[in-house]
Amino acid sequence: MDTSSSLLFFSFFFFIIIVIFNKINGLRSSPASKKKLNDHHVTSQSHGPKFPHGSLGWPVIGETIEFVSSAYSDRPESFMDKRRLMYGRVFKSHIFGTATIVSTDAEVNRAVLQSDSTAFVPFYPKTVRELMGKSSILLINGSLHRRFHGLVGSFLKSPLLKAQIVRDMHKFLSESMDLWSEDQPVLLQDVSKTVAFKVLAKALISVEKGEDLEELKREFENFISGLMSLPINFPGTQLHRSLQAKKNMVKQVERIIEGKIRKTKNKEEDDVIAKDVVDVLLKDSSEHLTHNLIANNMIDMMIPGHDSVPVLITLAVKFLSDSPAALNLLTEENMKLKSLKELTGEPLYWNDYLSLPFTQKVITETLRMGNVIIGVMRKAMKDVEIKGYVIPKGWCFLAYLRSVHLDKLYYESPYKFNPWRWQERDMNTSSFSPFGGGQRLCPGLDLARLETSVFLHHLVTRFR
């Protein structure tokens, strides 16, 4: 059986299992929901709000196989493009075992992502929900989410942490690049993944070297292997191994928390300077932020940071290698900064990297074309009308960001890598949302830009 056939067979089997589990948990549409679907279909014939057109696909499996096979192709948005031509920018489908409204419309996406939990809540496949747990920042809503997100976001944006990350990136990259040689290939994504994990572990829980770091990394690799596994939890399955790996990591983080408390119990709280995210959360007086909740969420926060930054770095280098003019301009800009700092004897500060105009345009264009986050899923808590479309209660909503970023309606020559397009263009528009949006906007977006800027600077100033 060839690779393509194996993929389709696996996808079919995988999502049959998911649908069965969803049936057991009552996630599929009930007769009442089907009646509601018909009612909405009738209103679509009038001049009022309309239920999106589309197809629910095959019985049980819906359109999941085609969706997954497109995702593994060289044009993942082909599934969306085909249906957008037939049904419009917002359409109905059935993927991941649930009825779904899919949107490739920038304004509709923005409206949903900016909604509060009375209208939409996060939605993830069953396996991901089990691995994260009910208290995950990626799933919780209301005041606890706002408090947690606010505390973490403020710290991740702080000059203190950004300065630390610049120092750490310089150290880790210098150690790695010193070992590079012309006769050995360098796997940039592997290098960037190793560096990004070290930076993230130190920023979250102050683990930076030795056996503790190796243990954390080993368990984390076992943990994330289960994100796309079958939702079957018994000894021997990948999900079971991943859950066990998370338990081990939580215990490790809880030991770190206990150590921090012992060190600070004789000090005044105000005298303790937060060195990592755990410190920030421990200083909060909320009774809801238990040590176990903090420990679990430190693991969950590693998920988006583990792949997003390495993928962003790798794609930036790839796009630059295909665009000599852009590479030359970025190199020139970074060499000038390096020469200036050497002349004045000053170190490079975090704001030096972020103030390089063309480097930031390259990163922005990489985010648009690369689509590190291809889409965001929500679940409607009530019937919601947006831009004339009705999103029914209980249905999943998929904001497919990749299609928006590669839509000629919003971008001229969307498949062309063109950093210069951002000279006049505003990033604060509904057609550019590489990190999601609303109350759940990724709190680490500034750090992703900073880490990528530092990596590119070291790469182009040391190598040709």
* Alpha carbons 296 and 305: distance in angstroms, whole number: 15
Strands 98-103 and 90-95: antiparallel
Paired strand residues for 94:
99
* Alpha carbons 242 and 293: distance in angstroms, whole number: 18
Query: How many C-beta atoms surround the C-beta of residue 440 within 10 A?
Result: 19
DSSP for 320-357?
A: HHT-HHHHHHHHHHHHHHHHHHHHHTPPPPHHHHHT-H
Q: Is 442 annotated as a binding residue?
A: yes
* Alpha carbons 317 and 311: distance in angstroms, whole number: 10
* Alpha carbons 366 and 316: distance in angstroms, whole number: 6
* Alpha carbons 460 and 331: distance in angstroms, whole number: 6
Q: How far from chain centre, in Å, is Cα 30? A: 32
Cβ proximity of 139 and 301 under 8 Å: no
Nearest 10 degrees: CA dihedral of 451, 456, 457, 460? 160
Hunting for tokens 């969706």 — which residue is that?
A: 67
Strands 396-400 and 98-103: parallel
Q: How far from chain centre, in Å, is Cα 461? A: 29
Contacts of 319 (CB under 8 A, 6+ apart): 326, 362, 365, 366, 369, 370, 417
Where is the binding site, in residues?
Answer: 442
Where is the binding site for heme, in residues?
Answer: 442
